Amino acid sequence: MSNPFADPSHSQGMDSNPFADPAIQSAQHSTHQEASYGHYASNDDTPTASKLSLPDSIAPPAQGQGDMSSRFNDLAKREQALAAREAQLSAKAEHIRKHGRNNWPPGPWPLIFHDIDQEIPEQHKSTVLTLYRLWMFLIIVLLVNFVADVLLLVSGASNGGADLGSGIMYVPVIGILSFLTWYRPAYNAYMKEASVFYYIYFIFAGFHLAFSAYMIVGIPSSGSAGLINLISSFGRGSILAGVFCTIATAGWVMQGLASLWMYKQVWAHSHGEAGHTFSSAKEEISMYGIKAFLFKGSTVPIQTGGQA
């Protein structure tokens, strides 16, 4: 006999749990999914498009383009400077290939290499440059003296012809000899600190000082438009000749005083700071030979002091 109090569902083969019904379980699963979706949709951490941000390295290109353009401009300027420098060096190398290293006197046939900035030590550049300018001033004085001699002849000076002949000769002869006998030795002396070059300078610069004094006096027929010819010109009433003689005389005086001053400067350096002596000069000659200094001075090794 069946139990009247038994659950009818058991008799029908059904689970007594009301939630075991498949319809109810399906509804619960659907509700759970909707709840989960709503949770993520309301969460602030959701990676939505409105909350995405680009890294700093992927910034808008406006400022980056400006910096890049500035860098390109700097690189272009550097490239142009390097190209100009390369062209300059190439031109110099080509000149050396065609004409050798010589660069003085300027023109198609340079005879020697002369570069104060490159060959003279920094502490002596001003001294050598002053000597070079003094030599160029001497050339100007020789030219003015030549013009004055021309005017002396034109004005009727009794010895005008002799003065003009000597004046013409002085320009090339004194110009070349002064460069070779006292300026160039001084240049080599400061470049190499060799005693023999200093003494060559002292000898021939001393002769030049005597020649300057001779030209200041202005003896007729001497080729000098100095004091005596100056006074004679004004005495004859030749004003133009007298003016040029005055300019020439003043030039000889200034040139002579400047030469004397530089002579003292070079002497003070060679005998004081550098300690060069006549004995050291003789030792250098015995070591290298006098021809090495007179004709191949640029090949004489650089000395570190007064002694060879």
Is the pLDDT at 304 greater than 60? The verdict is: no
Q: Which domain holds residue 232?
A: 116-299
Q: Both 106 and 169 in a single domain?
A: no
Q: Is residue 14 a part of any domain in this protein?
A: no
Report the range out of 70-84, 195-209, 263-277 with the highest average pLDDT: 195-209
pLDDT at residue number 301 = 61
Q: Both 83 and 165 in a single domain?
A: no
Q: Is residue 108 a part of any domain in this protein?
A: yes
Q: Both 80 and 122 in a single domain?
A: no
pTM: 0.65
> How confident is residue 90, by pLDDT bands cut at 50, 70 and 90?
confident
Q: Both 82 and 198 in a single domain?
A: no
Q: Both 164 and 206 in a single domain?
A: yes
Number of domains forming the structure of the chain: 2
| 245-274 as b/e: b if 16+ CB within 10 A | bbbbbebbbebbebbeebbeebeebbeeeb
Q: Both 130 and 88 in a single domain?
A: no
Query: What is the pLDDT of the chain when averaged over all its residues?
Result: 79
Q: Is residue 65 a part of any domain in this protein?
A: no
> How confident is residue 212, by pLDDT bands cut at 50, 70 and 90?
very high
Q: Both 120 and 169 in a single domain?
A: yes
Q: Both 127 and 171 in a single domain?
A: yes
> How confident is residue 293, by pLDDT bands cut at 50, 70 and 90?
low
From CA 239, how far away is CA 226, in angstroms rounded?
Answer: 15
Reported as a single tens digit per residue, the pLDDT across 235-253 is 999 999 999 999 999 999 9
Q: Both 275 and 130 in a single domain?
A: yes
Q: Both 220 and 96 in a single domain?
A: no
pLDDT at residue number 188 = 92
